[in-house]
Amino acid sequence: MKKILIVEDHADIRKLIRMTLEFEDFEVLEAATGDEGLEVAHQAQPDIVLLDVMMPGTHDGLEVCRRIKRAPTLTHTRVVMLTACGRAVDMARGRRSGADDYLSKPFSTRQILDSIHQMEAPA
């Protein structure tokens, strides 16, 4: 069972994503800030992190992504950035931080599942 961490400061968005993922039989973890998300990622070592860019706390999503990608214990972890910032320059920042995929809000739960399933497929 794939382990997925949702790092999103809006509880209603976390709930929607969690319900979608649980229906697909994923193990779901949640965090409301970048700091908490980084801590949970190090403890749980998820397969995929769904990560909001703009969050309260010390670390925004871009910094959390960079730290996940640099962590030796998280080399297997894929990161999907979720953000309201959908301009090309914003997507480029996400890619430079190490994101494996980038979804702009508003996104559908189908888009999230498609991104996850694409990452699960053998290369």
- Copy the structure tokens of residue 83: 């953000």
pTM for the whole structure: 0.91
CA neighbours closer than 13 Å in the CB half-sphere of residue 65 = 24
pLDDT digits (tens, 9 = 90+) for 38-50: 999 999 999 999 9
pLDDT per position as a tens digit, 4-31: 999 999 999 999 999 999 988 899 999 9
Residues 68-84, mean pLDDT to the nearest whole number: 92
- % residues pLDDT > 70 (the chain): 89
Please tell me the predicted confidence (pLDDT) of residue 121: 61
Per-residue model confidence (pLDDT) at position 12: 94
Q: CB-based contacts of 39: which residues, under 8 Å, 6+ apart?
A: 31
Enter the CATH code of domain 3-120: 3.40.50.2300
Burial (CB < 10 A; 0-12, 13-18, 19+), residue 45, is: middle
What is the three-state SS of 95-123? HHCCCCEEEECCCCHHHHHHHHHHHHCCC
Q: How far apart are CA 102 and CA 19, in angstroms?
A: 21
pLDDT computed for residue 17 by the predictor: 94
Q: Which of 61, 60, 68 is nearest to 42 (CA)?
A: 68
Give tens-digit pLDDT for 79-102: 999 887 666 666 667 677 889 998
The kind and range of the H/E element at 12 are helix 11-23
